[in-house]
Structures are given as C-alpha cells and as structure tokens.
Structure 1
Amino acid sequence: MDNVISVILGGGRGTRLYPLTKERSKPAVPLAGKYRIIDIPISNCLNSYLNKIYVLTQFNSASLHRHITRAYKFDNFSKGFIEILAANQTIESMDWYQGTADAVRQNLRFFNQPNIDLVLILSGDQLYRMNYQEIIKEHIRTGAEVTVSAIPAERTQAEHLGILKVDEQGRIIDFSEKPKDEKIIDAFSVSPSVFDRHGIKAGDRTLLASMGIYIFNLDVLNTILKETRKSDFGKEIIPDIIKKRRVCAYFFDGYWEDIGTIKSFYEANLKLGSPSPSFDLYDEKAPIYTNPLFLPGSLINSCKISHSIISDGCFINDAEIQNCVIGIRSIIGKNTRIQNSIIMGADYYESASHIRANRFKKIPNIGIGDNSCIEGAIIDKNVHIGENVTIKNANNIEQLDAENYMIRDHIVIVPKGSVIPSNTAI
C-alpha cells in the first residue's frame, strides 16, 4: 500500500445540508453523537493500511482543520501523514476549486511523488465501511486505468444516482447521470450473470450506480486532467473517458449511504440506534477513529431510554428518550421527552459565571430545559432551549425559514448556538 495516495474531497458549500453547514464544512458535521463525517473515510483508509492521506478543503474549513489536526497524529517513525490542502491562489490558478476534478487538478504537484503509482479519490460525505485494499486489488487484476466503485441499485433510485452500464467483464461502457427516461433506464439494466459473477444476489436491484469512489493510475490521472479543463469527475470526466480509457467497475455490496442531504443525514443517524443497525459502529476489526475528548461517562438518572445512542459527558435527568442520537455534553432537564431526534450536544460546559450571565440576560443555559418536548428534529451544538418548550412539526410543513429555526424535508432544525426561550412552541 506504500504506492497509493488517498485524496478525500472536502466538499463544496454544503447547501443541501444547510443550516448544519452554516458555520462548518460538510465533513465537519457531527455524526453518531461523537464523530465527524470526515472520520468515516479517514478510518476506512487507516483500517485498509493506507496512511498517506490528503484532505482537500475549501468552505468553512476551520473546525474541520482543527478536528483533523487534533485527532490524527503519526509518530516520527511512520511514513504516514494526513495533510490538509486548502484552496489557495497560486501562479497557475487564481480560482477556488470549481469541482471535484478541478480540486485534484490544482493539487497534482503534491501527488506526483516518487514511488506513487495509484491515487484513491474519496468523498467526504458518505457513510460506509470498505476495505480499500479490495478495490485496489481488483484495479490491478483487471488491468484498469481507472476503477469506479459501484453498488447495485433499484430502478426507483436511478433519478438520484449516476448509473453505469458494464459489459460481461465489468468494463464500463456507458454512463448516465440521474436518468429519468424509462427507456434509458432499461438500456442500463445489468445482466443477472454479471452480478452472479461478482457474488452479488441482486434481487430487485437491476442497475449499477457510481459511489463516487475512484482509483486512478497516477500517470493516467495526470494526462486526463491536463487534457481537459472539465471540473467534475462524476458528471464530466468519467463519462468522457470511458470510450478512450480502460475504465472498470468494482462491485460493492455492503451498506453505503450518501448523507449529503438533511433527510439522508437524519435517517442514517437514527438508524444507528436501532437494535440491528445497517452500519455497525462496534466492529472491533475496523473501528471508527475520532478526536479523543477524554470526557467522563454520562450521568443518567430515572430515565426511560430506548433505541438510542447516548454519547459521553451527558447529564440526563428523569427524561424519556426514544429513537434518538444524543451527542457529547448534552444536558437534558427533568420530565422532558425527546423522540426521533438528533441532539448534537455542546462544545463545552458552561461555567458558573456563564450561567450567572445567562440568568442576567434571561437566556436559558446550554441544553434542553425541564418539561420540554422535542420530536422529529435536529438540534445543533451549543443550543439554549428553555423550559416548557415544544419543538414539533405538527403541521407537516416541508420547508420554512424562521428567526431561530428552519424546516427542511419536514425536519425541524435548530442551528448552532440558537436560543429558544422558555414556553416557546415551534
């Protein structure tokens, strides 16, 4: 694995995850109570013995940089590293990254190192566990110049994904981005024998979708990006090169979820607290790494909790919590009921002086006050919620922008640092 460099794309403006991306980049958004989204691809790399990692960042990247530098350190005797490449002006380019391919193009000088043959390109907003050694072995076995990781998909998913057409050997011969025409979808249906050859029981999954994970031969990547100024791998580069280059598919049949939208992020998080989660956080052979915060265990008194994740450092008193993810340092008051919600917690505990200042300003303390009810919501970090507060989309509104909360995909979102006074009903 010493001849492979991993490149994790930090994402663009993150508009689909707004307002969670109001003050942070997509990969820095908290996940599963104690992690960040960026921990997923980094952990996959480290568990695959790939320890030469670059993270390309651009928007709202301060918290992401801080998290990476604190969480991931290599000793002096290791060849491994994780380096952040933020968008910046150079003699060659005065522009910010225009897309995934343009971000890689602007940083090729860092990847062109002695004894490097392959570049693994990853997304920073997906939830999955993969041993990248397997895709690398398949790339070498097939003699591919480019390999695209692909997952079986149903017809109903076609309009949300990039769909691949492959021959009997798994070589990609056509590509369609989010097709809606039934005739096009029919033309991209995969033969059952192709799935069988790769040990996949397809069932109703008749299509093959790109996962946004690519392996490039380094010399091929250099040539492709210098021959064209196109800026995106999925929409432009891959469809353009399949007729000129040997581009093969790697068939993946595990759990994979793009969590780049509010709805997908919300649903994927809540599934983690189910009795049999599709994504297993407790796999000892492939752990998810993050910044160790050295927080104490949570203090829980007289509570009823089911199908939920409770993170470190919480204070929860006489509360009912069902199907939730409760983040670090969460403080939840008495007789409070929380259901189908993500509570991201806090970055710090308030000091006595902070609490006195809050009382003087008539601002609730960080956390959730007594006798409150929260259903179907995402409460971002450092939010002040008072007593007798109700947060629930009772009118089933799909989208709304209010002063201190928003609704996206029917989910109520309270942005980071917001204040919800006591006796408020949302």
Structure 2
Amino acid sequence: MDNVISVILGGGRGTRLYPLTKERSKPAVPLAGKYRLIDIPISNCLNSDLNKIYVLTQFNSASLHRHITRAYKFDNFSRGFIEILAATQTVESMNWYQGTADAVRQNLRFFNQPNIDFVLILSGDQLYRMNYEQLIKEHIRTGAEVTISVIPAERKDAPHLGILKIDEQSRIIDFFEKPKDGKVIDSFSLDASSFDRHGVSARGRTLLASMGIYIFNLEVLREVLKETNKTDFGKEIIPEIIKKRRVFAYFFDGYWEDIGTIKSFYEANLKMTSLTPSFDLFNEKAPIYTNPLFLPGSIINDSKITQSIIADGCIINKAEIHNSVIGIRSVIGKNVVIQDSIVMGADYYESEPNIRANRFKKIPDVGIGDNSRIRGAIIDKNVHIGENVTIENVKKLEQLDAENYMIRDYIVIIPKDSVIPSHTVI
C-alpha cells in the first residue's frame, strides 16, 4: 500500500448541517460523544495500512486543523504523514476550491511523489467502515483506470444519490447524479443477478449508487483534470470519463451513511446507542482513532440510563437518560430527563472564578441545570442551560429560526456556546 496516496475532501460550507457548521467544518462535527466525522475516513485509511494522507480543507477549518494536528502523529520511521492542504492562492490559481475535482486539481503537485501509482479520493463526512486494501486490489485486478465504490440502493433513495449502470464485467457504462425523473431511475434498475455475481443480496434494492469513493491511477487523474476545467467529480467528471476510460465498480454492502443533513446526523448517532448498532464502535480489528483527551471516567450518581452512549469525563447526578448520546465533559443536574437527544458536551470544565463571574451575570453554568427536560434535540458544545428548562418540539414544527435555537427536520438544535436561561420553554 506504499504506492497509494489518500486524499480526504474536507467539504464545502455544510449549509445543510447548519448550525452545527456555524463555527466548524463538516468533518469537524462531533460524533458519538467523543469522535469527529473526520476520524472515520482517517481510521479507515490507517486500518487499511494507508498512511500517506492529505486532508483538503477550506471553510471554518481551524478546529479541524487543531484536531488532526493533536490526534495523528507518526514516528520518524513509518514514512507516513497526515498533512492539511488548505485552500490558498497560488500563481496558478487565485480562487477558492470550486468543487471536489477542482480541490484535487489545485493540489496535484503534492501527489507527484516517487513510487506513487494510485490516488484514493474520500469524503470527510461519511460514516462507514471499509478496508480500502480490498478496493485497491480489485482496481488492479480489473485493469481499471478508475474504480468507484458502489452500494446497493432502494428506488426511493435515488434522488439523493449518484446512480449508475454496469455491464457483466462490472464496468460502468452509464451514470446519473441525483435523478428526479422516474423514467430515468427505472432505466438504471438492475436485476437480482447483477448483485448475485458479486456475492451481494439485492433484498429489494434495484439500483447501484456511488459512495463518492474513487481510486484513480495517478497518471489518469492528472490527465483527466488537465483535459477539462469541470469542478465536481460526481456531477461532471465521472459521467464524462466513463465514455472514454476504463471505469469499474467495486461492490460494498456494509453500513454506509452520508452525514449531509441534520436528520441523517441525528439518526446516525442515535442508531449507535442500540445493542446491535449498524455501525459498531467496539470492533477491535478496525478501531476508530481520535484525539486522546486523558479525561477521567464519568461519575454517574443515582441515575437511570437506558440505551445510551456516555462519553468520558461526564458528571451525571440523579438524571434519567434514554436513547441518547452524552458527549465528553457533560455536566447534567438533578432530576434532568433526556430522551432521543444528542448532548455534545463541552471543550472545558468551568473554573470556579468563571462560574462565579457567570452567576453574577445570571448566566447558568455550562451543562444542563436541575429539573430540565430535553426531548428530540441536539445540544451543541459549551451550552449553558439553566434550571427547569424544557426543550421539545411539541408543535411538530419542521423548521424554525429563533434567537438562541433552531429547528431543522423537526429536531431542536441549540447552537454552540448558547445560553438558555432558567425556566425557558422551547
């Protein structure tokens, strides 16, 4: 695997994940109590013996840079690295990244290294576990110039995905990005035998969707990006090159979720609280790595907790928590009820002088005050929630923008560093 460079795309503005992306990039959004989204592709790379990794960043990237710098270090003998390539003005280009392909194009010079034959292009905001070594071996076996990792999909999901057709050798012969027309979707339907040939059960799924994971021969990538000024792989580059390049599909049938919206982020986190989660954080053969914070174990006193994740360093006192994710350094007061919610925790423990100063200003402590009720919500980091606060979308509003909270996809979101005074009802 020494002849492969991995490129992780840091994503655009992340508008569909706003306000979680108000002060951070999509890959830096906290996940499962203690991780960040960027930890998923980086961990997949490291577990696949890929240790030459570039992360391309642009928007709100400070916290992402800090996390990567602190979390991932290689010794002097591994020849591995994780380097951040932030969008910057150069003699060749004065523009920001205009899309996924443009981001790679602007950094091609970094990939021209001795003994590098392949470039693996990954997204920084997807949740899945994959051994990329198998993908690369299949790419070499088929003699492909480009290989796209694909996953079986249901018809109802087609408008949100790039769908494709393959021939009997798994060569891609047609591609359509996010089709809305039913006739177009039907034209891409495959019979069960197409899945059976790859040891995949159709299970009612009739389509193949791109996962946004590409392996290119380096020379081919260089030629493709120089032949055109198109800016996006999925929408423009891939549909164009399948006509003249050997582009093959690699079948993947595990859990995969594109964390592109508040709803998908919320559901993916809560699914991990089940006894048999689709995405298993306890896999010792392929662990998820992150920044070691050296926090103490959580203190839980006289509380009832069911089907939930409790991260490190929490202080929970006489609370009731169900089907929820409680992030690092969460402080939860007495008689608090939390249900179907994500509490991201805090970046710090408040000092005594700071607590006294906040109380003088009538600002609640960081955490959740006594007797509060939270249901169906996402509480971002460092939020101050007072006593006797109720947070629940009782009116079933799909979307709302208020002064210190928002509703997206029926989910109440309290942005980072917000202050919710005591006795507030949301």
TM-score tier (shorter)? over 0.9
SS at match of 2:240: helix
> How do 1:19-30 and structure 2 match up within 5 A?
19-30=19-30
CA distance in 2 between partners of 1:266 and 1:317 (Å): 25
Deviation at 1:180, TM superposition (A): 2.2
**Tell me, which stretches of 5 or more residues in structure 2 are unaligned?**
none
Name 1:278's counterpart in structure 2: 278
Query: What are the superposed Cα offsets for residues 175-204 of structure 1, whole Å, 9 maximum, x if unpaired?
Result: 111112222112111232221110001120
CA distance in 1 between partners of 2:186 and 2:368 (Å): 51
CA distance in 2 between partners of 1:344 and 1:278 (Å): 21
CA distance in 2 between partners of 1:194 and 1:155 (Å): 16
> Are 1:307 and 2:307 matched, yes or no?
yes
CA distance in 1 between partners of 2:70 and 2:180 (Å): 44
CA distance in 1 between partners of 2:138 and 2:190 (Å): 19
Name 1:68's counterpart in structure 2: 68
AA aligned opposite 2:123 = S
SS at match of 1:412: strand
Deviation at 1:342, TM superposition (A): 0.2
CA distance in 1 between partners of 2:92 and 2:254 (Å): 41
Query: What are the superposed Cα offsets for residues 222-268 of structure 1, whole Å, 9 maximum, x if unpaired?
Result: 00000000000001000010001000000000000001110000000
CA distance in 1 between partners of 2:55 and 2:179 (Å): 31
Name 2:18's counterpart in structure 1: 18
> How do 1:187-206 and structure 2 match up within 5 A?
187-206=187-206
SS at match of 1:127: strand
Identify which range, 152-161 or 42-51, moves more after superposition. Answer: 152-161
> How do 1:114-129 and structure 2 match up within 5 A?
114-129=114-129
> How do 1:301-380 and structure 2 match up within 5 A?
301-380=301-380
CA distance in 2 between partners of 1:51 and 1:325 (Å): 31
Name 1:53's counterpart in structure 2: 53
SS at match of 2:239: helix
AA aligned opposite 1:3 = N
CA distance in 2 between partners of 1:181 and 1:292 (Å): 48
Name 1:102's counterpart in structure 2: 102
AA aligned opposite 1:400 = L
CA distance in 1 between partners of 2:5 and 2:77 (Å): 18
Task: Compute the RMSD of aligned alpha carbons.
Answer: 0.5
CA distance in 2 between partners of 1:258 and 1:176 (Å): 18
Name 1:248's counterpart in structure 2: 248
Name 2:266's counterpart in structure 1: 266
SS at match of 2:356: helix
CA distance in 2 between partners of 1:407 and 1:49 (Å): 41
Identify which range, 242-251 or 185-194, moves more after superposition. Answer: 185-194
AA aligned opposite 1:40 = I
Percent identical among aligned pairs is: 82
CA distance in 1 between partners of 2:324 and 2:337 (Å): 11
CA distance in 2 between partners of 1:379 and 1:357 (Å): 23
Deviation at 1:306, TM superposition (A): 0.5
SS at match of 2:148: strand
Name 1:161's counterpart in structure 2: 161
**Tell me, which stretches of 5 or more residues in structure 1 are unaligned?**
none
Name 2:295's counterpart in structure 1: 295
SS at match of 1:121: strand
Name 2:216's counterpart in structure 1: 216
SS at match of 1:245: coil
Write out the 4+ residue segments of structure 1 that deviate beyond 4 Å after TM superposition.
Answer: none
CA distance in 2 between partners of 1:55 and 1:180 (Å): 32
Name 1:152's counterpart in structure 2: 152
CA distance in 2 between partners of 1:178 and 1:348 (Å): 42
Deviation at 1:328, TM superposition (A): 0.1
AA aligned opposite 2:266 = Y
AA aligned opposite 2:340 = N
CA distance in 2 between partners of 1:227 and 1:191 (Å): 36
CA distance in 2 between partners of 1:11 and 1:22 (Å): 14
Name 2:391's counterpart in structure 1: 391
CA distance in 1 between partners of 2:64 and 2:306 (Å): 32
SS at match of 2:199: coil
Query: What are the superposed Cα offsets for residues 155-177 of structure 1, whole Å, 9 maximum, x if unpaired?
Result: 11111111011111111000111
Name 1:111's counterpart in structure 2: 111
Name 2:414's counterpart in structure 1: 414
AA aligned opposite 1:88 = T
CA distance in 2 between partners of 1:168 and 1:185 (Å): 20
SS at match of 1:184: helix
AA aligned opposite 1:224 = V
